Structure 1
Amino acid sequence: MRNKSMLIPFIVLLVLGCSEPKIDASSDQAMATSIEEVRQSLTPDQQLHFDDAVQVLAFSQQSLEEFLKEGASSIITTRGQMKDVLNGKTGREVIEEAERLKRERK
Structure 2
Amino acid sequence: MKKFTYLLVAFAMTLFLTACGAPTIDASSEQAMKESVEEMTKDMTEAEKTEFGMAIMAVTMKVAMQNMGNPEKAEEAVQDALDGKTVEEVIEMSKE
Same fold (TM over 0.5): yes
Question: Contact (CA 8 Å) 1:21, 1:41: kept in 2 or not?
Answer: no
Partner of 2:38: 36
Equivalent pairs counted in the alignment come to 89
Query: Structure 1 regions of 5+ residues with no counterpart?
Result: 67-73, 101-106
Partner of 1:87: 83
Note the C-alpha offset of 1:40. Answer: 2.1
Matching of residues 60-75 of structure 1 within 5 Å: 60-63=62-65, 66=69, 74-75=70-71
CA distance in structure 2 between the aligned counterparts of 1:65 and 1:14, rounded to whole angstroms: 41
CA distance in structure 2 between the aligned counterparts of 1:34 and 1:96, rounded to whole angstroms: 19
CA distance in structure 2 between the aligned counterparts of 1:44 and 1:92, rounded to whole angstroms: 16
Q: CA RMSD in A?
A: 2.6
TM-score normalised to structure 1 length: 0.66
* Identical-pair percentage: 29
Question: Contact (CA 8 Å) 2:60, 2:78: kept in 1 or not?
Answer: yes
- 2:54 partner letter: D
The answer as to 2:17 corresponding to 1:21 is no
Query: Structure 2 regions of 5+ residues with no counterpart?
Result: none
The answer as to 2:43 corresponding to 1:47 is no
Partner of 1:70: none
CA distance in structure 2 between the aligned counterparts of 1:83 and 1:58, rounded to whole angstroms: 9
